[in-house]
């Protein structure tokens, strides 16, 4: 600030000060306008947050059972609060900087990827997803252009150009030039949309979208190069059959191999498809095995399949024990891993989305009661069984097709003193409103999770050979909060309970 003294000694100089005050007033007006826009932005964000809190409080599990609500919640906490922090005073920034529990960008990415998986599995349109229409009972907010762009970008970076194209188109349809809160530009959407369109083999459309980009920014270097390239391909028709197949091969949907396609089709079923021949072999009965634990209270057994034999037991675990097990497990939950054959250690993978922990019988009478029940119902010893594994599935939580038995490796990996996993007992500890079924690929089996019920099957023939027909998968959870508890029973100690047979099919 320049200060001149003795201005009062000249009226001419006093008059000149009007220009100073006029310019200051102009700058203050600009400042107030910017401040007003900043405050309006913060007020709108606060309104969104308050609306979110009012919907979630008191019904948290129902609210976050909708995966789109989780995605929006994570987006607020990872990206939008960051922008708000930059717009606030140092005092507010200090408060936001405190050691609050925040999700990471990896959480946001994982949730967005889960939405793509749910869309692919259950065949929702992009418009249905973006409008929050996957749960008619408890709809989510609609997704903005920014949010559609983010999901499309996730698909794009995973070379899933089929869904990248659909989500970028949805982002373009929802784009509003007047929206000052938008974090992306129209040209950004067009850039990804044109590339995804080209990768899907539609060169004419890709060229049209590129020309639209150049209308916005005539100097866009990549768009200029793409225009020349696309035009030359169309004009000279030099895109050979082999080239086109190369482009299309790179745009295949993630996990579109035959096994996963079968699995996704099974996940969309409401129930198992059985022939009349197989249905005639199935039955329901009360089972007690002459066991003292069951004689006065036999369990309700339903045979679901006969080759392999898969049994469903109804109402076998009490709500009290289930809730106790969940309370014990919750603080110990960690990302579920799969066994790594090379390192003999657990490894996190993107095809198993859940958290889990292990509970021994010593932890609680509830856990011990469940082990005792499993032993009584299956007539197998629990002495060599693994501890109870408790799992809680996350957003779009699933586990791709797998078998529970361990492969016998030439290098001796995964050898256990108690032998292989001869059988599996899977307890459902929650109902799942939509999705989350257990499917068996060999028998077109589809089992809907029902709280207090349990599924049992043998992973091995009586001959000791593994049974590949037991390959199964956990379908993505669309709506709901899925909890299960799994008990893996091992070979050792079962010699007289399940005698060995030379018949490999028994």
Q: What is the CATH number of the domain that holds 277?
A: 2.60.120.620
Residue 25 has pLDDT above 80, yes or no: yes
| DSSP notation for 417-479 | TT-SEEEEEEEE-S--SEE--EEEGGGTEEE---TT-EEEEESB-TTS-B-GGG-EEEPPEEE
Find the range with the poorest average confidence among 4-13, 184-193, 322-331. 4-13
Residue 252 has pLDDT above 50, yes or no: no
Residue 264 lies in a domain: no
Residue 213 has pLDDT above 80, yes or no: yes
Distance in angstroms (rounded) separating the CA atoms of residues 145 and 148: 5
* Buried/exposed 26-40: b ≥16 CB within 10 Å, e otherwise: eeeeeeeeeeeeeee
Domain holding 190, by residue range, is 105-237
pLDDT at 92: 72
Q: How confident is the model at residue 99 (pLDDT cuts 50, 70, 90)?
A: low
Provide, rounded to the nearest whole percent, the portion of the chain with pLDDT above 90.
63
Are residues 201 and 278 part of one domain? no
Q: How confident is the model at residue 164 (pLDDT cuts 50, 70, 90)?
A: very high
Are residues 172 and 130 part of one domain? yes
| DSSP notation for 297-352 | S-EEEEEEEETTEEEEEES-S-HHHHHHHHHHHGGG-EE--EEETTTTEEE--TTB
Residue 500 lies in a domain: no
Q: How confident is the model at residue 367 (pLDDT cuts 50, 70, 90)?
A: very high
Are residues 460 and 408 part of one domain? yes
Find the range with the poorest average confidence among 90-99, 448-457, 488-497. 90-99
pLDDT at 19: 85
Q: What is the 8-class DSSP label of residue 282?
A: -
Residue 6 lies in a domain: no
Are residues 285 and 401 part of one domain? yes
Are residues 152 and 35 part of one domain? no
pLDDT at 334: 95
Find the range with the poorest average confidence among 30-44, 306-320, 342-356, 433-447. 342-356
Task: Report the pLDDT averaged over residues 173-200.
Answer: 89
Are residues 139 and 51 part of one domain? no
Task: Report the pLDDT averaged over residues 486-496.
Answer: 95
pTM of the full predicted structure? 0.85
Per the DSSP assignment, residues forming a β-bridge with 486 are 389, 426
Are residues 294 and 169 part of one domain? no
Task: Report the pLDDT averaged over residues 230-256.
Answer: 58
Q: Tell me the CATH number at 144.
A: 1.25.40.10
pLDDT at 304: 95
Residue 361 lies in a domain: yes
Mean predicted lDDT score pLDDT of the chain: 88
Are residues 429 and 368 part of one domain? yes
Task: Report the pLDDT averaged over residues 69-83.
Answer: 88
Q: What are phi and psi of 146, to 5 degrees?
A: -55, -45
Residue 250 has pLDDT above 50, yes or no: no
Provide, rounded to the nearest whole percent, the portion of the chain with pLDDT above 70.
87
Are residues 53 and 112 part of one domain? no
Residue 503 has pLDDT above 50, yes or no: yes
pLDDT at 95: 67
Instruction: Count how many domains the chain has.
Output: 3
Distance in angstroms (rounded) separating the CA atoms of residues 151 and 164: 8
Are residues 188 and 280 part of one domain? no
Q: How confident is the model at residue 181 (pLDDT cuts 50, 70, 90)?
A: low
Task: Report the pLDDT averaged over residues 113-138.
Answer: 91
Residue 418 has pLDDT above 70, yes or no: yes
Residue 411 has pLDDT above 60, yes or no: no
pLDDT at 149: 97
Are residues 217 and 277 part of one domain? no
Are residues 341 and 468 part of one domain? yes
State pLDDT tens for residues 224-233: 999 999 999 8
State pLDDT tens for residues 269-318: 876 666 666 676 788 999 999 999 999 999 999 999 999 999 999 999 99
- Total length of the chain: 506
Q: How confident is the model at residue 248 (pLDDT cuts 50, 70, 90)?
A: very low
pLDDT at 338: 85
């Amino acid at each position: 600030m320049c200060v001149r003294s003795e201005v009062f000694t000249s009226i001419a100089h006093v008059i000149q000060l009007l220009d100073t005050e006029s310019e200051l007033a102009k700058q203050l007006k600009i400042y107030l306008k910017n401040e007003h826009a900043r405050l309006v932005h913060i007020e709108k964000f606060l309104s969104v947050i308050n609306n979110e809190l009012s919907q979630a409080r008191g019904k948290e599990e129902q609210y976050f059972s909708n995966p789109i609500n989780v995605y929006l919640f994570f987006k607020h906490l990872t990206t939008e609060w960051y922008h708000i922090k930059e717009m606030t005073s140092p005092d507010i920034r200090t408060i936001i900087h405190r050691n609050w529990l925040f999700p990471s960008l990896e959480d946001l990415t994982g949730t967005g990827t889960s939405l793509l998986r749910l869309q692919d599995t259950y065949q929702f349109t992009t418009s249905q997803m973006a409008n929050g229409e996957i749960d008619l009972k408890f709809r989510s907010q609609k997704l903005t252009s920014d949010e559609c762009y983010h999901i499309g970008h996730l698909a794009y970076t995973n070379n899933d150009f089929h869904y990248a194209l659909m989500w970028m188109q949805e982002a373009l349809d929802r784009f509003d030039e007047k929206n000052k809160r938008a974090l992306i530009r129209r040209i950004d959407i067009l850039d990804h949309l044109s590339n995804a369109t080209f990768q899907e083999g539609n060169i004419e459309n890709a060229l049209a979208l590129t020309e639209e980009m150049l209308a916005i920014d005539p100097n866009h270097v990549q768009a200029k190069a793409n225009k020349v390239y696309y035009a030359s391909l169309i004009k000279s028709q030099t895109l050979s059959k082999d080239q086109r197949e190369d482009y299309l091969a790179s745009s295949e949907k993630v996990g579109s191999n035959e096994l996963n396609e079968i699995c996704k089709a099974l996940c969309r079923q409401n129930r198992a498809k059985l022939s009349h021949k197989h249905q005639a072999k199935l039955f329901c009965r009360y089972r007690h095995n002459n066991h003292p634990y069951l004689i006065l209270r036999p369990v309700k057994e339903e045979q679901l399949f006969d080759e392999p034999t898969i049994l469903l037991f109804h109402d076998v675990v009490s709500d009290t024990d289930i809730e106790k097990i969940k309370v014990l497990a919750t603080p110990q939950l960690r990302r579920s891993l799969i066994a790594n054959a090379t390192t003999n250690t657990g490894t996190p993978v993107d095809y198993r989305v859940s958290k889990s922990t292990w509970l021994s019988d010593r932890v609680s009478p509830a856990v011990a009661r469940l082990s005792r029940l499993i032993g009584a119902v299956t007539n197998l010893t629990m002495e060599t069984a693994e501890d109870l594994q408790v799992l809680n599935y996350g957003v779009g939580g699933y586990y791709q097709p797998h078998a529970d038995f361990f492969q016998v490796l030439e290098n001796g990996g995964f050898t256990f003193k108690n032998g292989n996993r001869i059988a599996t007992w899977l307890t459902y500890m929650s109902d799942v409103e939509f999705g989350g079924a257990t499917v068996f690929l060999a028998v077109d089996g589809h089992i809907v999770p029902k709280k207090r019920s349990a599924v049992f099957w043998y992973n091995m023939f009586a001959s000791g050979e593994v049974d590949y027909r037991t390959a199964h998968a956990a379908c993505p959870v669309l709506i709901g909060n899925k909890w299960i508890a799994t008990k893996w029973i091992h070979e050792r100690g079962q010699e007289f309970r399940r005698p060995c047979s030379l018949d490999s099919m028994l």
